[in-house]
Amino acid sequence: GGGAAFLAFDGGLLEFLQACAGTNSSNNNSGGTPKKGGHVVEGNFTDIRTFNSMLSSDTASNQVIGLMFDGLTNQKKDGTIIPALAESWKTSSDGLTYTFKLRSGLKWSDGQALTSDDVKFTYALAYDPAYKDFASPRRGDLSKYIASIDTPDAQTVVIKTTQVYAPFLASHGQYGILPKHVLGSMDGKALNTADFNNGPTVSNGAFKFVSWQKGQQVTMARNDNYWAGAPYLDQWIYKVLPDSVAVTNQLKTGEIDIGPIDPGQYDSLTGTSTVARSEFPVPSFNFYAYQLDPAKPAGPLFQDKQVRQALIYALDRNAMNQAIYFGHATAADSVEPPTSWAYKAKPQVVYNFDKAKAESMLDAAGWTKGSDGKRAKNGTPLKFTMITNAGNKQRESTLTYMQQAWAAIGVDATPSLIQFPQLVSQIVDIRTFDMFLVGFNWSVDPDEAPLFHSRNTAPGGFNGADFKNAQVDSILDQALVTLDQNKRKQLYYQFQDIMSDLVPAPILNFAHGIWGVNTRVQGTDFGPFNQYGLRQWNHNVWVTDGK
């Protein structure tokens, strides 16, 4: 996740935002002298899906990928882009060419040189027709906007775009660079299932892979060849726990050192002196999406926007957010997060709770109540299943609330809980769902084409709900080739107005990022745009006890 390359579905409960003051400092640093050695255990309640940066479409995978693979650039917690593998870059006057100069002496963890060929190979996976069978969620955008990549020498990468592409640096400059010397002999189809995706043999980030016990933990060790200097820690462990409450409880007991705090458990940490809490706005939202492919069983239920609008009118989102998020979330009216400079607080249609209106809209759409109080149209019941990831207590409770609210207007909606990797697979690959509930983590740039442009309905793309609208496509495309921020903002205002009317994927809320860090751990610096994979401070983390 984060404000750059890793646009991703979010398995966590803290992937949201609202402009609020931090409760505590998000920089856990006593100012003491760093010690070498020891380990950190980071806990979360979802396992990862892949270690391949160009396949990853979820924040859990990105958290681990970010520890092992750096991109051309990185970013500060406020979204400012900073050098990483590339020490510098420049953009041509016509906005079509990006020239990156890599640092000298870059090495993979196995000692081999990291060169411009590795960068070209990594990006080719998502734009070059030769890799069309590689299921990257970034293919829809990069295949449209990258014209060519040249490598005049081992330290220079020249990326030319087909046209001006405003979000290129912010949204596509930070993918973890992959090793051509390990993967370069494979075709796109073979790369989808490469052993590397489950256990990378080399890395270029602060840590290197040791083991992955699926459903339990990922263990990583110090990479002594890291370009910014070997990290202080011997090991970083990513531990998978049953649910969000367990994460908070293990922060209390010291069984884990870092983790997202369950909003319902936030106050329970007040007296825990060993845990420093931080709360901040994040560029994400929580949303549910309708199955819009008319060829799928549930698709015909949601083709009429009156039905989609009625269902959101039936939800008292203010009450839901208070009961489920305990004041750490607010109802969302826009598809752009408030951290975005293109955010429009009041788009064309605002959905306040109105049960009577919801019922009258369903009646008008032909979905009338039978003697059993349930709605049907021409013999077809308004009945469907809603999926989300098990272990996220907020999402589990949200589905229960939605089930009850919709039952009150005659709609039969059944919650179903699955593991987060399977949820992401349903959205980007399988796509047999009726409705899904998930979060999405955005870039510092307001472009939302990855989730809402029709080209990203392609297999592996984020637009698994099959939303296709020519006017939305046109506006998103115009915004991408507009460098004037004020003009771009007006286009995104139009986009938000249209989406508020069509509601293919209603945004439920913007919540806060809330993280806990054990006070023995120093050097963390969580903020809005670096809570997931893009943590430029990873290698500077150390533990006071050296254990």
What does the H/E/C string look like for 31-48?
A: CCCCCCCCEEEEEECCCC
Give the torsion through C-alpha atoms of 517, 519, 522, 527, to 10 deg: 30
Please give the distance of CA 356 from its chain centroid, rounded to a whole number.
35
DSSP-based three-state secondary structure for 288 = strand
Closest CA to 383 of 465, 286, 500, 291: 291
**pTM summary value:** 0.84
Please give the distance of CA 524 from its chain centroid, rounded to a whole number.
20
- pLDDT for res 5: 36
Residue 486 CB neighbours (<10 A): 7
Mean pLDDT for back-to-back runs of 10 residues, the chain (547 residues): 48 35 48 93 95 94 96 93 97 97 98 98 97 94 96 98 94 95 98 98 98 97 97 98 94 97 92 94 92 98 98 97 90 94 96 98 98 97 97 94 98 96 94 96 90 94 96 97 96 98 97 93 93 89 96
> Rounded CA gap, 192 and 125, in Å?
10
Amino acid at 511: A
> Rounded CA gap, 60 and 48, in Å?
5
- pLDDT for res 495: 98
> Rounded CA gap, 323 and 327, in Å?
8
281 token code pair: 């706005």
68 token code pair: 């092992």
- pLDDT for res 24: 39
104 φψ region: left (φ > 0), alpha (ψ -120 to 50), beta (else): beta
Which are the contacts of 508, defined by CB distance < 8 A and separation ≥ 6? 285, 286, 287, 288, 315, 317, 320, 331, 332, 398, 437
Q: In angstroms, what CA-CA distances link 137 with 41, 157, 171, 387, 451?
A: 29, 23, 13, 21, 10
Q: In angstroms, what CA-CA distances link 132 with 124, 143, 162, 426?
A: 10, 9, 18, 21
DSSP state of 268: G
> Rounded CA gap, 500 and 335, in Å?
8
